[in-house]
Amino acid sequence: MLAVRPASDAATGAGLPERIERLRQQRRAVILAHNYQLPEVQDIADFVGDSLGLSQQAANTDAEVIVFCGVHFMAETAAILSPDRTVLLPDLAAGCSLADTITADQLRAWKADHPGALVVSYVNTSAEVKAESDYCCTSSNAAAIVNSIPRDREILFCPDMFLGAHVERVTGRTMHVWMGECHVHGGIEPAHLDAVRRQHPGAELLIHPECGCTTSALYRSSSGDLPGPTTVVTSTEGMVRRAAESPASTFIVATEVGILHRMEKVIPGKRFLPASRGAVCQYMKMITLPKVAASLETLTPRVTVAPEIAARARVAIERMLAVPV
Ligand code: 13P
Ligand code: SF4
């Protein structure tokens, strides 16, 4: 029987990291956290990273329990890849506005309009949508996945229109792209970027491909319209890597603000400025230390995927993991 948590811990967070560490060992659990998680959640995790890194960790873990500090589709992906493990999502309401923009029924109807087309679905989709897909992808490998498909094949890409446009630009391919967007990244506007860039003209610009401002920023950089040495479009983990390697010392970061904690921790001494302080994903912030502790104590809430759906979704995810990036 595991110890009952004192009420004061839940209220103040005091002692929670130690309690979580004890429970983690008792449960033989691994704690995986996305780069957008609250700082204190990132700090107690065994691994912090982007969707691709988290999927790889979930696929290869020896742990009996996976505590997923992220959003629902990420925990589902872990449950699909590790069906024998207990996958916990400390708050089941942690969803994703982008994943909600396409249902399996909508995808089936879209496929019926394009017989013979291959479907590439972003990892930000439900398990049912992945089960209807040929390939899964993340922001780290979307271009590599599309490049691995013969050029004469028609492609349906869903659900993020900005990532789709970015992949078309990078690969030189034309795809049918679903018109979904993430409300957080969609809310980072070109005007936000321009304002920060004018204040910090020497800063390098790091943009997540889900941002609607990507096209305009790339165009304005290449046309010399805005000062600034470099613009890099990449995943959250790609941003961390790029900032570590870049000669620049100041970066404007166009994605959810949770990444700033990770960057400041991994790369002390460099300066990271948010493109928009309002870029906060309320779903990611639903995961808190008291909920992580409660989840480990009770082994709930659990995320499971029906075996028939999981088997089909796994094909799309494993095809993705097999493509070298
Ligand atoms: P990354 O895979 O780049 O971390 O992105 C996940 C996500 O949800 C972005 O909003
Ligand atoms: Fe979904 Fe957007 Fe939140 Fe990422 S930031 S989890 S895409 S709602």
Q: Is the CB of 124 under 6 A from ligand 1?
A: yes
13 Cα to the center of ligand 1, angstroms: 27
d(CA 250, CA 243): 9
Which structure tokens are listed for 172? 């030189």
d(CA 115, CA 261): 45
- Given the candidates 3.40.50.10800, 2.40.10.120, 2.60.40.2890, 3.90.1200.10, the CATH classification of the domain at 184-274 is 3.40.50.10800
Q: Is the CB of 184 under 6 A from ligand 2?
A: yes
| Per-residue confidence (pLDDT) for residue 223, from 0 to 100 | 63
Stretch 40-57: mean pLDDT, rounded?
A: 96
pLDDT > 90: percent of the chain: 86
Tally helices (H) and strands (E) across the chain: 16, 12
Residue with CA at minimum distance from ligand 1 atom 4? 50
* Mutation pick for ligand 1 pocket among 236, 237, 320 (CB with most ligand atoms within 8 Å): 236
d(CA 226, CA 130): 40
Residue with CA at minimum distance from ligand 2 atom 5? 281
Please tell me the number of the ligand nearest to residue 183's CA: 2
Report how far apart, in Å, the C-alpha atoms of 42 and of each of 46, 50, 307 are.
9, 12, 31
116 Cα to the center of ligand 2, angstroms: 30
Q: Is pLDDT at 221 greater than 80 in this prediction?
A: no
| Ligand 1 atom showing the smallest separation from residue 182 Cα | 10
Q: Is pLDDT at 29 greater than 60 in this prediction?
A: yes
Name the phi and psi angles at 180, rounded to 5.
Answer: -90, 160
Residue with CA at minimum distance from ligand 1 atom 6? 51
* Mutation pick for ligand 2 pocket among 51, 256, 257 (CB with most ligand atoms within 8 Å): 256
* Mutation pick for ligand 1 pocket among 208, 282, 320 (CB with most ligand atoms within 8 Å): 208
Stretch 3-14: mean pLDDT, rounded?
A: 47
Stretch 209-225: mean pLDDT, rounded?
A: 73
Q: Is pLDDT at 194 greater than 60 in this prediction?
A: yes
Asked whether this chain's domains 9-96+284-304 and 184-274 adopt the same fold, the reply is yes
Q: Is the CB of 160 under 6 A from ligand 1?
A: no
Q: Is pLDDT at 10 greater than 90 in this prediction?
A: no
The CATH architecture of the domain made up of 9-96+284-304 is 3-Layer(aba) Sandwich (3.40)
> What does DSSP assign to residue 285?
G
236 Cα to the center of ligand 1, angstroms: 6
pLDDT > 70: percent of the chain: 91
Domain positions in the chain are 9-96+284-304, 99-181, 184-274
Q: Is the CB of 281 under 6 A from ligand 2?
A: yes
Q: Which of 109, 136, 84 is nearest to 318 (CA)?
A: 136
Give the count of beta carbons closer than 10 Å to the beta carbon of residue 249.
13
Residue with CA at minimum distance from ligand 1 atom 3? 235
- Report the predicted TM-score, pTM, of the whole model to 2 decimal places: 0.93
Which structure tokens are listed for 183? 């409300």
| Ligand 1 atom showing the smallest separation from residue 235 Cα | 3
| Ligand 2 atom showing the smallest separation from residue 160 Cα | 7
| Per-residue confidence (pLDDT) for residue 3, from 0 to 100 | 44
Fold type of domain 99-181? Rossmann fold (3.40.50)
For the stretch 165-181, pLDDT in tens is 999 999 999 999 999 99
